[in-house]
Structure 1
Amino acid sequence: MKKIKCILFFFVTLFLSAYLQQAYALTYKMAGGPSGGVFILYSKAIAKLAKNDRLGLKSSSSKGSIDNIEKVETGRVNFGIAYSGHLYQAINGKLKNNSKKYENIIAVGYLYGAPAQFGLKSDSKITSVKQMKGLKVSVGNKGSGAAATGELFFKEMGVWDKNDFVHYGYKQSIRDFIKDKLDGFWLFTGFPSPSVNKASEKKGLILIDTYLDAEPTGFFKTYPYFSKVVIPANTYKNVSKDTVTFEDSTILIVNKTIPEEIVYRITKVIFCDNGLKYLAKKHSSAKNLKKEDAIKGIVTPFHPGAIKYYKEIGVMK
């Protein structure tokens, strides 16, 4: 009997080893974001960390948060970067013009806070969003988190129909802003943003205090996954005062069908000491990222593979 148990144990171990080797040999797909944004920087960095741990993970560009949620839900990609608020809306059937409840998508972990950054020309006399009238402003690509949140915000502020809001990606938005083809741009991304940096250095700009406009209206009671954040003075050239705005949590998401062991390994390479150091080198928004932040700002369920790692390091009980 003891000999039979040993033989069975050997074959089970052999089977699991072969299964894991096959899984690691696969190349998984991850959707990042538009060129010039922070999503794509994180996507590429995570793919690099995975490669260092013998995991195949290929990063690709996308329109952004909403696009990534759709792609992960349908299995066109396995992983993606999205906003916590959009994941919450998708799971609960509350996305704009879409009552479908997304059932195949789940959270892995927090990456960074993504603040709204609403820039106008440096000579603009506007100090409040509610003063906007007749302006041409880009809110990001259709399908992006920036565009979805921008439309939500400007409609709540009552100015959506009073201005010309267009859907350009970050690169075109900044290029047209510098060339005076746009009066302003709306980005939903970590700071300092390379795109906003470019606009501030080549054109000059002011940033609007979006939180101060929205707070008295009850905006943050209606959408509790947004929180207040301050972009410090001098983060960008000639922006010499603090900007009081709001942010959502940027998170890594995954299709539920991805094996627990794979998601465990991906989670581990991100939140181990070396992973956190590497992300901090790639973008300043990760400089203060800690293991304890892994579950921050996420109000939806986590993948079992992520839970396994978080319990190991004491982030979850």
Structure 2
Amino acid sequence: MARFPFRLLAVAASCLLVVALCLPSMALAKTRLAFSGGPDGGTFQYFSNAISSRLSKMIPDVEVSNMASAGSVENLRRVNSGDADFGVIYAGDLYLGATGQLTNDPRKYSNVLSMAYLYGAPAHLAVLADSGITQVTDLVGKRVAVGPAGSGAAASAQRYFTALGLWDKMKVEFIGYSEAASSLGDRKIEAMWVFAGYPNSSIIQAAASNSIRLLSLVDAAKATNFFQNNPYYAEVTIPAGTYTGVDYDVQTVQDSTIWVAGKHVKADIVEKALTEVFSPEGLAYMLSVTKAAAAMSIKDGNYGIVTPLHAGAAKFWQANGLTLTAAQQPL
């Protein structure tokens, strides 16, 4: 019987060694994803950080990193371009972006698909109790913080105040929530606009050091075409006692906050992510991080979504008994 050449044996052994060394790293290979959240002190950041941590811990082949962000509009652009894989976006920005109607931005953001409803985001308009400001129209000539430039908060503020004819009559400050809370107490600004689930940490911060007033926004909106031109907004009440010193119901406007994925994200990953986060254990974890997560549930998973779902999300919600609207049909 012919002998196998020693050199070939050596080559074969080397190849086997390389394969053996590679197997562990191949087994540990993970899909790395980025989740674009929000500014410090905002509810977006609580959600993006919590979901990123949960998915990284519970799904063996996925690692999700949380990214700070200016907020909704920046998240829309990041996910659309592929710079982020997941994001948190207001339904209004998602709808306007998909249809090319964002303020000063006619581009259509077609690569961003809805996954799930997270919570309602009501507008908070806070002033100092002794400021003499008792209604929205009193803000003419006043310094008003509306959130960082590029954020969903700033975009929603511009829509609201423009409908009331006030946007160009105020001194608008593009600063984040935490800075705004401090500035309000230091009287560097006279009002702060926060667009986030309640209770919000920045409003809590402002109320802890000062006597504040939250202005009701619905009556002023109804006196204009605000709701007709922005059908994704709804009326909502922030209950009395939610914040220190605010012992009355506040009638305000609300957008829906949507978890989104890029069209490039694989359907099975989206389905796995939803399965984990909307499990009983996942929902309990989310609620332990932020009270705003109390709005999350299987039965309301596609609530407030007025744009197409990701294919993986559509499969998940239909498997859980939800009916998709015409606007939610997957792409």
Q: Tell me if both proteins adopt one fold, taking TM over 0.5 as the criterion.
A: yes
For the residues of structure 1 that align with 2:30 and 2:129, how far apart are their CA atoms?
52
Conserved? CA contact 1:209–1:243, under 8 Å: yes
Describe the superposition over 1:19-76 as per-residue Cα deviations: whole angstroms up to 9, x where unpaired. Answer: xx88971210000000000000000110122022222111111000000000000011
Listed as ranges, the matches of 1:136-215 within 5 Å are 136-215=143-222
Mapped contact 1:66–1:143 kept (Cα < 8 A): yes
Aligned to 1:4: none
State the Cα deviation string for residues 73-131 of structure 1 (Å, max 9, x = none).
00111110010110100110011111111121111110000000000111132222123
Say whether 1:45 aligns with 2:44: no
The amino acid that maps onto 1:257 is H
Q: SS where residue 293 of structure 1 aligns?
A: coil
Question: Cα distance, 1:161 vs. partner?
Answer: 2.0
**Greater Rg over alpha carbons, structure:** 2
Q: Which residue of 2 aligns with 1:32?
A: 37
Tell me the secondary structure at the aligned position of residue 89 of structure 1: helix
* 2:301 pairs with 1:294: yes
Q: Report the CA distance shift for 1:130/1:56 in structure 2 as closer, same or farther (over 3 A).
A: same
The reply to whether residue 58 of structure 1 matches residue 65 of structure 2 is: yes
Amino acid at match of 2:79: V
Q: Is the 8 A contact 1:83 1:249 kept in 2?
A: yes
More deviation, 70-79/278-287: 278-287
**Residues 269 and 275 in structure 1, CA contact (< 8 A), matched pair in contact too:** yes
Contact 1:23 1:262 in 2 (8 A): no
Q: Distance in 1 between matches of 2:299 and 2:29?
A: 27
Identity %: 34
The amino acid across from 1:27 in the alignment is R
Range with bigger deviation, 237-246 or 153-162: 153-162
Q: Which residue of 1 aligns with 2:319?
A: 312
Check 1:218–1:23 CA distance in 2 against 1; reply closer, same or farther (3 A cut): farther
2:120–2:295 contact (8 Å) kept in structure 1:
no
Q: Which moved more, 1:288-297 or 1:232-241?
A: 288-297
Moved more, 68-77 or 120-129: 120-129
RMSD: 1.6
Partner residue, 1:134: 141
1:83–1:250: 8 Å Cα contact kept in structure 2? Answer: yes
CA gap of 1:288–1:81, structure 2 versus 1, over 3 A, is: closer
CA distance in 1, matches of 2:217, 2:122: 10
Equivalent residues of 1:138, 1:165 under 8 A apart: yes
In the comparison of the two structures, how many residue pairs are matched?
Answer: 298
Question: Would you say the 8 A contact 2:79–2:262 is kept in 1?
Answer: yes
For residues 66 and 211 of structure 2, what CA distance do their matches in structure 1 show?
33
> What CA deviation, in whole Å up to 9, does each residue of 1:204-238 have, x standing for no partner?
21001011210121211110100011000010000
* Offset, 1:316: 3.3
1:113–1:190 Cα contact (<8 Å) kept: yes
The code of the aligned residue for 1:251 comes to I
Alpha-carbon separation, structure 1, partners of 2:151 and 2:117: 19
SS in 1 for 2:300: helix
Where does the alignment leave 5 or more consecutive residues of structure 1 unmatched? 1-17
Indicate whether 1:255 and 2:225 are aligned: no
Match of 2:13 in 1: none
Tell me the secondary structure at the aligned position of residue 33 of structure 2.
Answer: strand
Q: Name 1:72's counterpart in structure 2.
A: 79
Q: SS of 1:82's equivalent?
A: strand
User: Counterpart in 1 of 2:230?
Assistant: 223
2:119–2:295 CA contact under 8 A, matched in 1: no
The 8 Å contact of residues 234 and 241 in structure 1, kept in 2 or not, is answered as yes
Contact 1:24 1:56 in 2 (8 A): no
| TM-score normalised by the chain length of structure 1 | 0.91
Q: Which amino acid aligns with 1:126?
A: I
- Is the CA contact 1:62–1:68 (under 8 Å) kept in the aligned structure 2? yes
Pair 1:112-2:122 in alignment:
no
**Cα pair 1:146 1:187 within 8 Å, conserved:** yes
Q: Which runs of 5+ in 2 are unaligned?
A: 1-22, 325-331
TM-score scaled by structure 2?
A: 0.87
Shift in CA distance, 125/53, structure 1 to aligned 2, threshold 3 Å: same
Is the 2:146–2:193 contact (alpha carbons within 8 Å) kept by the matching residues of 1?
Answer: yes
Other-structure match for 1:238: 245
CA contact (8 A) 2:118 2:295 kept: no
